[in-house]
Copies of this chain bind each other. A is one copy, B any other.
Amino acid sequence: MLSDAGAANNSAIEFWFDFSSPYSYLAAEKIDALAASYQRIVHWRPVLLGAIFQVTNAAPLVNLPLKGNYSVRDFSRSARYLNLPFTMPSKFPLPTQLAARTYYWLCERDVDMAHDFARAIFRALFVHDRDISDLAVVCDVAASMGLDADTVSLAVAQPEVKARLKNETDAAMLKGVFGAPFFMVNDEPFWGVDRLPQLEKWLATGGF
C-alpha cells in the first residue's frame, strides 16, 4: 500500500520509552520487526518518565490505588499475550538515567549497537531482574557487548551526555509525549504497546 504517498510514508517511526517501563520493554521487542515489514526505520529515544510526570503531575502506575495492583497483573498477562518472557523486577520503578545516557553516548558511535544495548538493558531488568540503576550493572551489560566498562563509566558522567538526555526528554514533552512507550508516525501519536495494532494499520493503509 506504499502508493502515492510513498515518500511521506517512508519517514521514520519515533519511539520514546523509559527503561523502567514494562510496556516499553514489550514494545521494544516488537517495534523493529513491525517497522521493517513496512520499510521503516525506528528512532529509539529513551527519556526520563519521572521528569515528564513532574510536569504533567502524574505518578508511576504501580503507585496508584487499585490501578497499581491491576497493572502488575496486566504487565505479566500482556507479556504472555505477546509471547515474551517477563519477570516483575524486585526493585521497581527505578532510576534509569545511567542506562539512558549510555544509550545516547553509544548512539553517537553506532546506532545498531545502541539498539542492541537498549534491548539488553530491558532484558536485564524485565527478564533477569537485575538492578539497572546500578552503574556496575550497566557497565556489565555494555561489557557483554564488547564495550569497555571504564569508558562507559566515564561517558555517563560527561556533561554533554547528561545534557543530551535532558534535551531529549524536554523535546519529547514538546512533541506531546506524556507516557511510554510512545510512538509517532508522520505526526500521528500512538501511546502504549496496546496501540501497536493501530500503528500497524496506520502503516498498512497510510492512515485511517
Contact = CB atoms under 8 A, between A and B. Distances in A.
A80 interface: yes
**Copies of this chain, count:** 2
Interface stretch (A55-63, A96-104, A125-133, A147-155): A55-63
B70 A66 contact: no
A176 B69 contact: yes
A70 B194 contact: no
A65 B73 CA distance: 27
A201 interface: yes
Interface string A166-208: 0000000100111100000000010110110110010000001
How many A residues are at the interface, by size bracket? 20 to 34
Contacts of A194: 192, 194-195
Interface of A: 55-58, 64-67, 69-70, 73-74, 77-78, 80-81, 173, 176-179, 189, 191-192, 194-195, 197-198, 201, 208
